[in-house]
Amino acid sequence: MGCGGVGRQLLQHIVSCRSLHAKQEIHLRVVGVCDSKSLVVASDVFTRELNDKFLSEVCRVKSNGLSLSKLAEFDECLIYSNSESKRKVIDIAALLGKSTGLAFVDCSASYETIAVLNRVVDLGCCIVMANKKPLTSTLEDYDKLYSYPRRIRHESTVGAGLPVIASLNRILLSGDPVHCIIGSLSGTLGYVMSEVEDGKPLSEVVKTAKSLGFTEPDPRDDLSGMDVARKALILARLLGRRINLDNIKIESLYPDEMRPDVMSVEEFLANGIKLLDNDVEERVKKASLKGNVLRYVCVIEGSRCEVGIQELSKTSPLGRLRGSDNVLEVYSRCYNEQPLVIQGAGAGNDTTAAGVLADILDIQDLFP
């Protein structure tokens, strides 16, 4: 579900890994692909699949911004649209769920997949997610998705391909209580913070990040801290915290008068963001005088769950962070004086899709 950058990259990974997987006697049979408007499925979901040539064509069509309906000329597929597609998805889940370990893979960025995921989980299907929205919706939706915890994987919702969720689950299942998590979980904000540390104005750094493709088309989507807050909520709920987004303290890097509904992105980049330079520069200097640096981090400790700028020691794993890498420090009974540190590339379609593929393969081990 979802044919954007991550979804297309996942299909390309599946195709390119055929020979590798064949050596391990694994074959991933893709029986359907859908976007927000259409569903394409194999003509017989019991015995057939969307072959590699067809999957490559899906990627080409979607890369050009076209509809999946353009694939109607292919004999091996059936195409459904709108509400009809949702009914067909549920039908396929009922047919294949418990018997085959059918996996629904959510690579969208939408809340609209939640209703489908809630239905298919009861039909015996596995769920793999790169989409953070379902896991950061209501606690009722979260509990429903996690009603069969062995059948859900969502590593890519927090650190792209980094083993964050798997590591935390191993610690928790061993009976080792996690009492604190501190992490830099935004490649964009990690890059911004390490660059302003070098004395560059925030406005210049953000414009450079945008030109490099590190930010969303409107950089305020990153600077608001909401993406980090969603990741923090996923981690907090994994630790057993019964909270919602409203319970998280979120520091935005821009004031309310620069919100997207008040100021256009063009005005923000041309004039608005320059007004933030002095304040950030002053905070960087104050931290430096104490031997510290500024990082945009999430902190989960006790009842505290917040995201924002923190002063950290230059010698800490987070303080040493440069560029767009992600870093997570996990403190528990066993990892007390020296935390478990997970670091690496935490963004990008390629890395995220690789994490999704690893989750799909991992979850298939549940089925003979």
Greatest pairwise CA separation for the chain in angstroms: 68
Instruction: Give which of 174, 138, 173, 134 is closest to 153, Cα–Cα.
Output: 134
Residues 209-238: pLDDT tens digits?
888 878 888 999 999 999 999 999 999 999
The residue whose two tokens read 């913070």 is: 193
Please count the other Cβ atoms lying within 10 Å of the Cβ belonging to residue 3. Answer: 23
Given a cut of 80, is residue 102 above it in pLDDT?
yes
Given a cut of 80, is residue 367 above it in pLDDT?
no
Contact between residue 300 and residue 181 where contact means Cβ atoms under 8 Å apart: yes
Quick one: average pLDDT of 171-180? 96
Q: Active-site residues: which are they?
A: 231
Q: How far apart are the first and last CA of the chain?
A: 25
The domains located in the chain, with CATH, are 5-160+350-366 (3.40.50.720), 178-345 (3.30.360.10)
Torsion over CA: 92, 93, 98, 103 (sign): positive
pLDDT, residue 368, reads 59
* Sheet strands side by side (includes 103-106): 103-106, 126-129, 152-153
Lowest average pLDDT, out of 16-30, 213-227, 236-250, goes to 213-227
Contact between residue 313 and residue 326 where contact means Cβ atoms under 8 Å apart: no
Quick one: average pLDDT of 270-276? 96
Contact between residue 339 and residue 354 where contact means Cβ atoms under 8 Å apart: no
Please count the other Cβ atoms lying within 10 Å of the Cβ belonging to residue 365. Answer: 8
Per-residue tokens: 32: 């359907």
The residue whose two tokens read 């694939």 is: 71
Spatial distance between the Cα atoms of 165 and 145, rounded to a whole number of angstroms:
16
